Amino acid sequence: MEHFYDTIGEDWFDFSDIYSYVVDNFTDDSHFVEVGSWKGRSASFMAVEIINSKKNIKFDCIDTWEGSIEHNQDNKPWVTEFQKDKDFLYSTFLKNTQSASDVINPIRKRSHDAAISYKNRSLDFIFLDGSHEYKDVLLDLQLFYPKLKRGGIIAGHDYVNCEGVWTAVHEFFNCGVLWDGNWIKNDSGNWGPNKPLFDLPIHIEAGKPLAARTSFLFKKP
Ligand SMILES: C[S@@+](CC[C@H](N)C(=O)[O-])C[C@H]1O[C@@H](n2cnc3c(N)ncnc32)[C@H](O)[C@@H]1O
């Protein structure tokens, strides 16, 4: 199936390499979760990758479809659309992802409520792109990380540009890999399910935001 994600919604999706990597490297019967799906841009990319892999990968998309705090504060045209109609974002997501809907399981809940419905050590890949508020990200990490299988991968968006994200990620993990503005870590402390995920890691001081969009290993000295 041809990718169609680039026709959908706002252009915030810069983690396609991570999505392709996990589809390539995890096996049949894996279980992936995306927290924060908005209008379906990243979700439809993942869904088409799954379809094209011919692997039987379960893919849950968790979102309130009410927008994040920062979306509701923004003075953007799309804010009024979803503030007028509380189902606007959800119906837009369903419409936009319809042609790949066989492999998408939308879960309309707050991430914290959805997290507790998973068994511990049941998920292979979790991507956090929901709330970027410090307290919410920390709670997402506390609730979702135990759900990761050994060798599973957890990652998230907007590490570089969101203080709430990088503060929570540093508080929760001592180490991980930062890639192109996103953070990524696996359960065992090795990078990737079978092999290093990224080359040439650079050690940096924990707790400091990074200005560059590049590959780093972050680790407490
Ligand atoms: C930045 S958008 C996701 C963008 C999407 N991944 C993409 O690339 O197109 C963040 C989404 O997180 C959702 N969200 C914010 N806080 C949430 C929470 N606590 N639980 C579930 N979803 C939440 C918002 O409704 C919004 O759709």
Name all domains of the chain by residue range, CATH numbers in brackets: 5-219 (3.40.50.150)
Q: Is the pLDDT of residue 71 over 50?
A: yes
CB count within 10 Å of CB 160 equals 19
Cα of 193 to ligand 1 centre, how many Å?
26
Per-residue pLDDT of 168-183, as tens digits, reads: 887 887 656 666 667 7
118 CA to centre of ligand 1 in angstroms: 19
Task: List Cα–Cα distances, 105 to 40, 116, 194, in angstroms.
Answer: 12, 17, 27
Could you tell me how many residues make up the chain?
221
Using the CB atoms, write b or e for 95-108: b if 16+ within 10 Å: ebbeebeebbebbb
Alpha-carbon distance of 77 to 95, in angstroms, equals 19
- Quote the ligand 1 centre to 221 CA distance (angstroms): 33
What's the pLDDT at 200? 30
Query: Which residues partner with 189 through β-bridges?
Result: none
Please give the model's pTM, rounded to 2 decimal places: 0.88
Find out whether 14 and 42 touch, Cβ atoms under 8 Å: no
Sheet holding 58-63, edge to edge: 105-108, 58-63, 31-35, 123-128, 148-156, 182-186, 175-179, 215-219, 203-204
Q: What is the mean pLDDT of residues 64-80?
A: 79
Q: Is the CB of 185 under 6 A from ligand 1?
A: no
DSSP state of 119: P
Q: Which two tokens stand for residue 137?
A: 């990200």
Q: What is the pLDDT of residues 20-51, one digit of tens each?
A: 888 988 999 999 999 999 999 999 999 999 99
Judge if the beta carbon of residue 5 lies within 6 A of ligand 1: no
Contact 210, 160 (CB under 8 A): yes
- Rounded to an integer, the average pLDDT of 66-70 is 86
Distance CA 107, CA 85 (A): 19
Average pLDDT over residues 120-128: 95
Q: Is 47 helix (H, G, I), strand (E, B) or coil?
A: helix
In short, whether 110's Cβ falls inside 6 Å of ligand 1 is yes
144-162 residue pLDDT tens: 999 998 878 888 998 877 8
> Given the CA of residue 130, which atom of ligand 1 is nearest to it?
12
42 touches ligand 1 (CB under 6 Å): yes
pLDDT of residue 214: 41
Q: What residue's CA is closest to ligand 1, atom 23?
A: 130
Q: Is 133 in the pocket of ligand 1 (CB under 6 A)?
A: no
